[in-house]
Structure 1
Amino acid sequence: MQVKRFFAADMRQAMKLVRDELGADASIIGTRRVAGGVELTAALDYEMPASPARQPNPELELELRKTQARIAAAHAEVASPTLAQSLREREPQRPAQPAQAVQASVAGESSTDQRALAAMRSELHGLRELIEVQLGSMAWGQMQDRQPQQANLWKRLQRMGFSAEISQALLARVSGVAEPRQTWRMLLAHLAHALKTPEQDPLEEGGLIALVGPAGMGKTTTLAKMAARYVLQYGAQNVALVSLDSFRIGAQEQLKTLGRILNVSVTQVDPGQSLTQALAPLARKRVVLIDTAGLPTSDPALRLQLESLRGVKARNYLVLAATSQAQVLKAAYHGYKRCGLVGCIVTKVDEAVNLGEVLGLAISQQLPVAYLADGPRIPEDLHRPRSHQLVSRAVSLQAEEDPSEETMADMFAGLYQGSTRRVG
């Protein structure tokens, strides 16, 4: 019998290590939480040991009887104090102990119980992860065997970068279509329908337009493209730039340089200064573009910045880089949604390996995609997309190779994890 321990950050990675090294016939004989992840013990040619004969433990049985008596007395206390007294008299007695000794004993038992409970929770959590991974692998195998067309669609959506939840919802819409090409066309049509774009160009709509989002998403560059686009179409007299980013000197200088080139005013709002007062001299401008600081969600200054935008009733667009991972995009949305988002702007499309992750967030959070930025040129590389164009772009950026079996099994395991969280 071959036995080996595997260490990984989570149960999925540990299971992959087991499959890669010992194969699919390996048996999991132990799991536990360790610093930095999980420890998983696996074996080949493992035979379940016979259960040892249960040896009686008089002390344990006595304690169990005492516990049962206390529970019965507690229930009886509510119904009848006399009955409760009778039950307490029947409770097994033990020699009296000093009060301090009793308190120390209780404290020791409580500490031991807490450690045992924590260990049990850790083991149960690891066991649940293990079951979810195995269920995901089984579900994906059954999908390939019984519904090969559906399995192929799952792979294509994964190549485009869409999450398991988005893929599942789309595939449910075409489950009754038999012909593969028609199924794919209908699936893309449903995808285009789920993606929203504004009916009117935000610049033509006018008013206060603020670009928000974490640092590095491309807010200042996008604002420059929007400003140049407006000046080329309508002139410089009706547009103004405002910067709330007093944290990055480079961003301030970039905006001032842009203002000189376009011949438009640039207003710098310092921390503590009223945004309402700063905007008052710009009331006659048809469009005011506001650049904001990309602050961490834990920074108190971010809350003040977002509240000031709500106070002036700006139309706030979340700027999202297509190069960002799904978790980063989700964190950006949840960190900035408090200011009231009317849509999003997708940047760095020319550097992205897929569009599924950013478009998936736009779909799940119902954020219309106002602009698409796909290069450094100002303003040529800023486009107003249509839903079908976004889908076509996502298809063109899909990965060339199918995802691995482990990736697909992990995706299905993620569906199980999501369902257990919703139920729990």
Structure 2
Amino acid sequence: MQVKRFFAADMRTAMKLVRDELGADASIIGNRRVAGGVELTAALDYQMPTPPARQPNLALEAELRKTQAQIATAQAELISRAAVDEHKDRQLFANESLVAPELLATPVKASRAQPVAAAKPQLQAAAMDQRALDAMRFELHGLRELIEVQLGSIAWGQLQNRKPQQANLWRRLQRMGLSAELSRVLLERVSKVAEPRQAWRMLLAHLAHAIKTPKVEPMEEGGVIALVGPAGMGKTTTLAKMAARYVLKYGPQSIALVSMDSFRIGAQEQLKTLGRILNVSVTQVDPGQSLIQALAPLARKRVVLIDTAGLPGSDPALRLQLESLASRGVKSKNYLVLAATSQSQVLKAAYHSYKQCGLAGCILSKVDEATSLGEVLGLAIGQHLPVAYLADGPKIPDDLQVPRSHQLVSRAVSLQAAEDPSEEAMADMFAGLYQQPTRRAG
């Protein structure tokens, strides 16, 4: 049997190392938490080669017997010394009343020390119980991850054998960057279609139907429109495109710009420069100033565009900013600006940070720099956010489009990865589906 230890940051990475090093026949015999990750002990059974006939070495055997005799002598001496020390201790405690009688005549001190001495074992036992509980919790978590990885690998293998057409569709959806949950829902709707091309076309049709777009362009409806989102998503550039688009069509008289970004250096000057170029009024809202009062002089404007500050979710100023946008006196339609270049976790964090102001939809920016649209489209579908605008370049206002759902799907297909995901990636994706018992893969 070959036994080897593997170190990794998490359980899935460790499992991949085991598969790469020992193969799929390896058995996991232990796991534990270590500094920086986990340690996995794996074993692989194999036939041991027959050892060659051993020639006796008389000199080595004689030296070995001499060493064993010395060890036995040393052990006997240690045992005898321990017995002598124990006898001395007994004599010392037996004569304790003669040596120190004042110790027995002080019951008050002994009673004070007794609770402290009794509390120490209790504290030690509680600490040991907590450590044991933490170790048990880690063991269960490790076993759960281990089972999920194994189930994911088994489920993916069974799907390839039983339903190769669906397995191919799974790969194509993963190349587009769609999440496992959304892919599962789409595949369930075409599970009865036998012809591969027709199944793919119907799947894309269902995907397009799931993407919501506004029937009327937000700028045409008018009112107060605020662009919200974290820093770096492209809010100010998108606002400039929207303002220029409106001015070119209707003129500068019925539109105004408002800036709530007093945190970023140069943000106010950037918006003032845009206002001078377009001949549009720009209002600055300082921290602590009421947004309702700032918008009161602009009541006659048909469209008011608000540029907000991109603040992290933990910043207290973000809560105040979102509360002012959500107030009834403002009546603003808030659109979350999402950069298509952002990772899935960043997009989810942005949504959860800004959803409290009430989102009317989203705007996809930096589409020209993106390598995939599946992540941002998956968030828009999952959170029921209509896609109001599509910003796909730096030109103002040319690179701002009013999207259609089938155009977004076509764009996502054109940006899909050239190569299929690896077998390990597909197995990990299926393992994620087992984190909730109600989900089924395939």
Question: Normalising TM by the smaller chain, what interval?
Answer: 0.7 to 0.9
Cα displacement string for residues 114-172 of structure 1 (whole angstroms, at most 9, x for unaligned residues): 11111110111011101101110111011111100000000000000000000001001
Q: What is the one-letter code of the residue matched to 2:139?
A: E
1:366 to 384, 397, 402: 384
| Pair 1:27 & 2:31 matched | no
Q: Distance in 2 between matches of 1:372 and 1:114?
A: 53
Task: Indicate the residue corresponding to 2:17 in structure 1.
Answer: 17
Task: Indicate the residue corresponding to 1:177 in structure 2.
Answer: 193
2:165 to 149, 167, 178: 149
Task: Indicate the residue corresponding to 2:58 in structure 1.
Answer: none
Q: Which runs of 5+ in 1 are unaligned?
A: 48-97
Task: Indicate the residue corresponding to 1:118 in structure 2.
Answer: 134
| Pair 1:248 & 2:264 matched | yes
1:383 to 377, 381, 401: 401
Cα displacement string for residues 15-53 of structure 1 (whole angstroms, at most 9, x for unaligned residues): 111112222122111111223322212222279xxxxxx
Q: Distance in 2 between matches of 1:21 and 1:253?
A: 59
| Pair 1:322 & 2:340 matched | yes
SS in 1 for 2:435: helix
Superposed counterparts of 1:38-57, under 5 Å? 38-45=38-45
Q: What is the one-letter code of the residue matched to 2:388?
A: A
SS in 1 for 2:31: strand
**Does the C-alpha gap of structure 1 residues 115 and 420 become closer, same or farther in structure 2, counting only changes over 3 Å?**
farther
Q: What is the one-letter code of the residue matched to 1:170?
A: L
Cα displacement string for residues 348-395 of structure 1 (whole angstroms, at most 9, x for unaligned residues): 111111100000000000000000111000011100011111111111
Q: Distance in 1 between matches of 2:386 and 2:35?
A: 43
Q: Distance in 2 between matches of 1:224 and 1:143?
A: 49
Cα displacement string for residues 31-86 of structure 1 (whole angstroms, at most 9, x for unaligned residues): 11223322212222279xxxxxxxxxxxxxxxxxxxxxxxxxxxxxxxxxxxxxxx
Q: Does the 8 Å CA contact 2:433/2:439 hold for their aligned counterparts?
A: no
Q: Which runs of 5+ in 2 are unaligned?
A: 48-113
Q: Distance in 1 between matches of 2:168 and 2:18?
A: 26
Q: Distance in 1 between matches of 2:306 and 2:8?
A: 45
Q: Distance in 2 between matches of 1:352 and 1:15?
A: 32
2:218 to 195, 202, 211: 202
Task: Indicate the residue corresponding to 1:266 in structure 2.
Answer: 282
> What is the aligned-residue RMSD (CA, Å)?
1.7
**What is the CA distance between 1:99 and its match in structure 2?**
5.3
SS in 1 for 2:389: strand
| Pair 1:287 & 2:306 matched | no
Q: Distance in 2 between matches of 1:407 and 1:149?
A: 18
TM-score normalised by L of structure 2: 0.82
Q: Distance in 1 between matches of 2:395 and 2:118?
A: 78
| Pair 1:402 & 2:420 matched | yes
User: Which structure: larger Rg?
Assistant: 2
**Does the C-alpha gap of structure 1 residues 292 and 266 become closer, same or farther in structure 2, counting only changes over 3 Å?**
same
1:277 to 277, 280, 293: 293
Superposed counterparts of 1:126-137, under 5 Å? 126-137=142-153
Q: What is the one-letter code of the residue matched to 2:247?
A: V
Identity of counterpart residues, as a percentage?
82
Q: Distance in 1 between matches of 2:35 and 2:288?
A: 44
Q: What is the one-letter code of the residue matched to 1:113?
A: D
Q: Does the 8 Å CA contact 1:27/1:46 hold for their aligned counterparts?
A: no
| Pair 1:332 & 2:350 matched | yes
Q: Distance in 2 between matches of 1:236 and 1:390?
A: 31
